[in-house]
Structure 1
Amino acid sequence: MAHQIIQPEGWAPAKGYANGVLAADGHLFVGGQIGWTVDQKFEAHDFIGQMVQALRNIRAVVEAAGGTPEDIVRLTWYVTDKAEYLAAQADVGRAYREVMGRHFPAMAMVVVSALVEDEAKVEIEATAVLSKA
C-alpha cells in the first residue's frame, strides 16, 4: 500500500480530510490541527489553551502512527491574531515544551484573517519522518 490513513483511537471521524497520512517511506503528514478535543469541541477559548490542545492533537496523530514528538521535522502554524501571539510568547515557549519537550523542528508562522472553524485561534500542521521498522 502506498499510504495509510492515521486516525487516533477514540477521535470523532474526520469529515472530508485525514488527520494523518503515513507514506510507505515513513513520512507522516499531519493535517492542520486546531484547539478542539477528540470530540471536536473547544474547551479552551484562549490562544495558549488552544495551542496546547492543537499540539496534543499533533502528538496523538504522530503516536498513533508509531512515532514520537522527536520524529517531527516541520510545523507550520496559522494564527488569527499576531498581537495575541506576540503578547503570549513566554507562555507559548513554556506550553510548547510541556507538550513537545525540547525538540524544535523547522517551523513557519503564518498570520491569517480566519480559520474554517470560527472559534479556532490557531491551526498547526506537521510533517514527521518515522523510521521504517
Structure 2
Amino acid sequence: MSHQIIHPEGWLPAKGYANGVLTKDGVLHIGGQIGWTAEKVFEARDFIGQARQALANIRAVVEAAGGTVEDVTRLTWFVTDKRAYVASQAEMGAAYREVFGRHFPAMSMLVVAGLIEDEALVEIEATAHLSDAKC
C-alpha cells in the first residue's frame, strides 16, 4: 500500500474523511482539525479555546503517526471571524506555544464565511514530514 490512514487511538470514527494520511515517503497530510475533542464535543465556545484544541488534535494525529510537532512543516488556518483572531493575538500566541512550543512552520490564514460544523470557529489543516515512515 502506498499510504496508511492515521487515526489516534480512542477517537470516535472519522466518517467520510481521514484525520491523517501518511504516504510511503513520509509525508503526513492532516485533514482539517476543528476545536472538538476526541469524542467530537466542543468543550470551548471561544476562538482561543477552539484553536488550542484544534492544534492539540493536530499534535495527536502527528504523534499517532510516530512524529512530533517539530515534524509539522505547514499549517493552513480557516477562521470564521478575523476580528476574534486579531483581538486576541497575544492569547493566541500563548495557546499556540502551549501545544506547539516555539516551532513555527509555514502558515496561511484564510477568513471563511463558515465551516461545516456550525459551532466551529476555526479549522486547521497541516502537513508534516516524518523521516521514519512505516508504510
Q: Could you tell me how far apart the structure 1 residues matched to 2:111 and 2:72 are?
A: 22
Q: Could you tell me how far apart the structure 2 residues matched to 1:18 and 1:60 are?
A: 14
Q: Could you tell me how far apart the structure 2 residues matched to 1:66 and 1:19 are?
A: 14
Aligned to 1:46: 46
Quote how far apart the aligned CAs of 1:108 are.
0.0
Aligned length: 133
TM-score by length of 1: 0.99
SS class of match (2:90):
helix
> Is residue 67 of structure 2 the alignment partner of residue 72 of structure 1?
no
For 1:8-87, what aligned pairs fall within 5 Å after superposition?
Answer: 8-87=8-87
Quote how far apart the aligned CAs of 1:19 are.
0.2
CA deviations on 1:28-50 (whole Å, 9 max, x unpaired) are 00000000000001000000000
Q: Could you tell me how far apart the structure 2 residues matched to 1:121 and 1:69 are?
A: 22
Runs of 4+ in structure 1 over 3 Å off = none
Q: Which amino acid aligns with 2:55?
A: L
TM-score by length of 2: 0.97
> Is residue 74 of structure 2 the alignment partner of residue 105 of structure 1?
no
Aligned to 1:88: 88
SS class of match (1:28):
strand
CA deviations on 1:43-90 (whole Å, 9 max, x unpaired) are 000000000000000000000000000000000000000001100100
Q: Could you tell me how far apart the structure 2 residues matched to 1:10 and 1:132 are?
A: 24
Q: Which amino acid aligns with 1:106?
A: A
Q: Which runs of 5+ in 1 are unaligned?
A: none
Q: Could you tell me how far apart the structure 2 residues matched to 1:46 and 1:84 are?
A: 9
Superposition RMSD in Å: 0.6
Structure 1 vs Structure 2: percent identity of aligned residues? 73
